[in-house]
Amino acid sequence: MPLLFFSGPQLSMQLTHSDAFSSPLARCFCAFIATTTMAKYLLLFFLALPVYSAVLRKYVLNLTSTYQAPNGFYREMFLINNQHPGPLIEADEGDTISATVFNNLQVPIAIHFHGIRQHGTPWMDGTPGVSQRPIFPGESFTYNFTTEGQYGSYWYHAQMRSYYQDGIKGPVYIRPAPDTLRPYDEVTQANTTATGILRAQEINPTPLYIMDWTKLPTDAIYQKTINYGIDPACILGYLINGKGRVTCPSNETITAAGAGRLASFRATTGVQSKFDSLGCLDISALYGNPGIDHAALEAPGYSAPCQATNTDREIFYVNRSDWIMFNVINMGGQFGTHLSIDGHDIWVLQVDGTFIRPLKVKQMYAGLGSRYIIAVPTQKNSGVFAIRFAGSAQAQVTEQIAWLSYNMPTTAQPEDYPVTNDVYQDIGGNLLNAQMPAFIEAAAAPYDERVKPPQGPAQRTIHFTLNRTGMVDFSVMDNGTLMLPDMELMTPSLWAQDVNRTNIVQAGIKIGDVVDLIIDNRYIMSHPMHLHGHTFWVISESNTSFGYPSVEAAIAGGSSTLNLANPPYRDTYTAPSRGHVVFRYVANNAGAWMFHCNVNVHRMAGMGAVILEDREKIIPRIPESVIDF
């Protein structure tokens, strides 16, 4: 039941709780302590304590197409409920979500809820050809699933082709249960007021959604890729919450920021390359094909001359609060992102739906598909400070800026605010002072020490090799085979009678097994790998191959890269260039689960597999309405 609407200079929010504060004595207590600013935060803190009652939350997602210019260049794009990104789907931990999708597009669609484990409902995972048939134009489909056992930041997006880069994406936020261990006291040094602010902002953190934006719709890019062998490695820039503008740094600025990229490319290929005016690196030495017109096709390194735009940037207002909590989601399909805020520290509190030992940094890394809850101290008196987003990939030097403002909100935007002296990174994401603390993903250990991987040997070990096997072919399989290009239109492997298909992994996984995925990356690019249906521990990582047939052998061999004590707990994690990662998880979710690179064009070019997990146990439970859809 709605209990309180509090509106003040710092906060404005709706709280929904049980009847724990409905007694006359409690109402008197609330009225009394609301008389001071500190007491208001205490009130919000204590109101967060009662247990939420699980409810059914219904959402409707209407998918349509339009022709707009979010960064100043018009192109066809997709909308959800007439907005981009799509509306927030929010719940309290334990609630059930029902989301009905109406496909009013001219293309088929399926919606994946990224990071939601779909425990017991694998047919709601939203992966065409794996867990469902596509939603064709004019059709609708309802996704029903529980949030039991999960909290934090997630997102939903089109899993069909690469349509989420065209606009089919939006956030999911699950408020943690009251008894979830939180690290806020470590950040605030147990300051009651500051902790109360963070607990209050946790209810509805400020959205900060990163998305890359391309000049052409993704179907056109894919056609250019498969017809001419061009890796679509470049974007037209980032959008932040759907806003952004194109800027055109000088060639000298781009080259200076990309010096490390040029050196790395030369060391790998022996070619001294160059950047074009969009900051795109000429990578033709990787794929060749002298018979194409690189300039006419605007291949990487041959982009049309950069044209600056003056569209709105996103502005975040402090509103006289001492802290601001951001929900950071990298909704892109191409690059990881380096993020910093001029003159401000960043506390990383949560990664991929798990509270971590808080890390205080000047710069953080947001991997493709990953989510982060961060807190920023905002104790300055005035001013406007740049929030900088720089692509992390070798292929392009690109930057977008949003603003953190201590001023009063205004409808008009200046050409750009003046830059402060406290800048931490350049347009290539390089730290201006190498001694500044940066977020290291391997250090993001869960705050709850009970979240530890099983020790000892695994019951099942699966080895994957990430590689580029052809001009535009990418594989995860040791033998180099590719996901079938028409897999999305096949009978879903969750219930298909014949699962002897390319890249379906039948390793005999049973419920209760400990599973290790050993992933060696042979290619010069890093790959953000996402596993559906599970959260895993990253128990080994380095810039070299793993070198062992199993974790058990690595333990016996004294491997220095293993971490079975306090490893990160993730559902999306980057395999480094020419290196390896090892993921360990417990098979507790019968089904058929995608494992793939989160760079969209790589997944579309074959870089994925389907891992079967005790599928026979779940087939009898699949609703006929899903099978007959």
* DSSP state string for 293-336: -TTTTT-TT-PPPP----PPPPEEE-TT-SEEEEEEEE--SS--
139, 108 contact by CB (below 8 A):
no
Q: What is the spatial distance between Cα 453 and Cα 446, in angstroms, rounded to a whole number?
A: 11
Q: Residue 355 half-sphere exposure, CB side, CA atoms within 13 Å? A: 20
Q: How far is CA 107 from each of CA 24, 65, 103, 158, rounded to the nearest angstrom?
A: 57, 10, 8, 11
Which tens digit of pLDDT belongs to each residue from 16-66?
333 333 333 333 333 333 334 444 444 444 444 445 578 999 999 999 999
Q: How far is CA 573 from each of CA 189, 280, 444, 536, rounded to the nearest angstrom?
A: 30, 25, 12, 10
Q: Is the dihedral of CA 248, 254, 257, 262 positive or negative?
A: positive
> Minimal CA–CA distance to 605: which of 265, 221, 289?
221
Burial letters 569-605, b for 16+ CB under 10 A, else e: bbbbbbbebbbbbbbbbbbebbbbbbbbbbbbbbbbb
pLDDT of residue 286: 73
Question: Residue 189 CB: number of other CB atoms within 10 A?
Answer: 8
pLDDT of residue 229: 82
Q: Which H helix or E strand runs over 30?
A: helix 24-33
pLDDT of residue 40: 46
End-to-end CA distance of the chain: 37
Alpha helices in 175-323 (DSSP H): 184-188, 192-202, 218-228, 251-257, 259-269, 284-287
pLDDT, averaged per 10 consecutive residues of the chain (629 residues), comes to 29 31 35 41 46 85 97 97 98 97 98 98 97 97 97 97 95 97 97 96 98 94 86 89 96 95 89 94 74 86 93 93 97 95 97 98 96 95 91 92 88 71 93 94 95 96 94 92 92 94 95 98 92 98 96 96 97 95 98 96 93 96 93
Strands 473-475 and 460-470: antiparallel
Cα dihedral 31, 32, 37, 42 in deg (nearest 10): -90
245, 312 contact by CB (below 8 A):
yes
Residue type, 160: M
pLDDT of residue 46: 45
pLDDT of residue 290: 62
238, 400 contact by CB (below 8 A):
yes
As beta bridge partners, residue 144 has 98
Which tens digit of pLDDT belongs to each residue from 427-454?
999 999 999 999 999 999 999 999 999 9
Q: What is the spatial distance between Cα 3 and Cα 244, in angstroms, rounded to a whole number?
A: 38
Q: What is the spatial distance between Cα 12 and Cα 341, in angstroms, rounded to a whole number?
A: 24
Which residues are CB-contacts of 366 (< 8 A; sequence separation ≥ 6)? Answer: 210, 328, 329, 330, 336, 337, 338, 339, 372
465, 476 contact by CB (below 8 A):
yes
Question: Which DSSP category does 533 fall into?
Answer: T
Q: How far is CA 620 from each of CA 120, 121, 591, rounded to the nearest angstrom?
A: 12, 12, 11
Q: What is the spatial distance between Cα 184 and Cα 382, in angstroms, rounded to a whole number?
A: 25
pTM, whole model, 2 decimals?
0.91
Q: What is the spatial distance between Cα 512 and Cα 204, in angstroms, rounded to a whole number?
A: 36
